[in-house]
Structure formats: structure tokens, C-alpha cells
Amino acid sequence: MTARLRALALALAALFLACHRAPAAGRDAGAVSIVVRPDSQGLLLTWIDDKGDFHVETDVGSVPMMGRDTVRVVDPGPPPEGQVPADDVFVVDLRQLGPDGAYPVHTMARTAFEALAVARREKSGPTLANPAPSGAAPAEGSGEAPSAPAKVGSAVVIYGAEWCGACHEAAKYLRHKGIPYVDKDVEKDPAAAREMQQKLAKNGLSGGSIPVIDVRGKVFVGFNPAEIDAALGEAL
């Protein structure tokens, strides 16, 4: 009898644990509080065009229909509740509202999201090679100087993302002029994204694209060498 009672107790304990086990982290975004509605503002929405290029918008209405199927969403605000693996990203389908008035959000592997761009790029035909990720060593024989180290007191801050070609061009331009800069990835660093949004709002600017460049307190959307030179002054 004792053995039977012990077996029954073990079975009940196993059942209790199975019913209360937390869901595995991964593709279900139901445990996190990130919500995307038609009037949502301040989110960073990354969509992919038919050529495989990435674009960033801060409001839902600016995302064209061609790129609404799988849009990466980053909330620059406080971190959402729940734990999401570092190699996963939030994506939203902006084609049709759910019954709650919000668009369906879920997670997917970062590599899978990037693979969508690669597939569309290959389908559209040959394009210019993507620039090396920020911080990557220059190709041997390229003649390009290595990236200037990020310094707290640098005159320039570049808010961008790893896949952003214009961001890399801005960094390359500053390196060639010998100007120290800080490179901040707004997708990987929510604090940097919030900081960028605050600077845009303070200057009355819209953040529909990146890079956003802060040159001695003057904020620019996009990379324009003439603007950077004027902001830095002849001294640099």
C-alpha cells in the first residue's frame, strides 16, 4: 500500500508541474506587452521593400502595402514584459487588424527576418554589395582606416542600424576626416532608440529614416556631408 501511495503522490506532483510550467520562450508574443495599433506613434518599424532593402518608419501609416506582411517592431520605451531570446525579434503583420483593434505581433528568429531581405534581393536581381557591419575590420588592401573608437566626449553621434548603408557611409566619412564619433544601434539598444526619439522631438523632426546624426547638438535626419561640415565648423 505504501508503494502505491508513493506512486500516486509522484504522479500528482508530475501533473501539477506540467500544468504550471511556464511556456517555452520563442515564437509566441502573447506574454509580452507590445501592442501595435493604427494610431501607434514612436515605434521603430522596419519593413523590407521588393528589392530587399530595409526602411524604418515611426508610424504605421507610413509603411507601404508592399512591406506590411512582416515588419520588425522595436519599442523605444520601457522594455516589454516577458523574456524574449536575444536572437529573436518582434514582427508585426500590418495587413489586417485583429478583433481587439491591434495588429498581430509575434516573434521570429533574427536570421529568418534577415533571410527575407536576402530572398527578395536575389529575386530582384544583382544589387550593390551590402556594406560591412559597423565595427567590422576593413578588407585587406581597401585603404580604409579602421573605425574611430567611440568616445563619450565625441562631437558626433550616429543613430543607426547594422543593415543601414547610409549609416556606414556617414561613419566612413567621419573616419576619413579623423573625427571621433559614437555609433549607436537603435535596434539593438532600446536606450539609444529612446535617446534618438527625444532628440528628434526636441528639434521638431520626424524620424522616418536613419541615420539620425547629432553634430554638437544639431540633429540631422539622413547623411549629408555638407550639413556635417557646416555643423562641425572649419576648426575640425
pLDDT at 17: 34
User: Rounded to 5 degrees, what are φ and ψ at 4?
Assistant: -65, -40
| Gap between the Cα atoms of 179 and 156, Å rounded | 8
CATH of domain 156-232: 3.40.30.10
pLDDT at 2: 56
pLDDT at 133: 36
Q: What is the tens place of the pLDDT at every residue in 32-46?
A: 568 899 988 778 888
For the whole model, what pTM was predicted?
0.54
Residues of the chain with CATH 3.40.30.10: 156-232
pLDDT at 59: 81
| Gap between the Cα atoms of 24 and 80, Å rounded | 17
Q: Which three cell numbers stand for residue 31?
A: 506574454
Q: Say if residue 148's pLDDT is above 60.
A: no
pLDDT at 80: 57
Q: Say if residue 145's pLDDT is above 60.
A: no
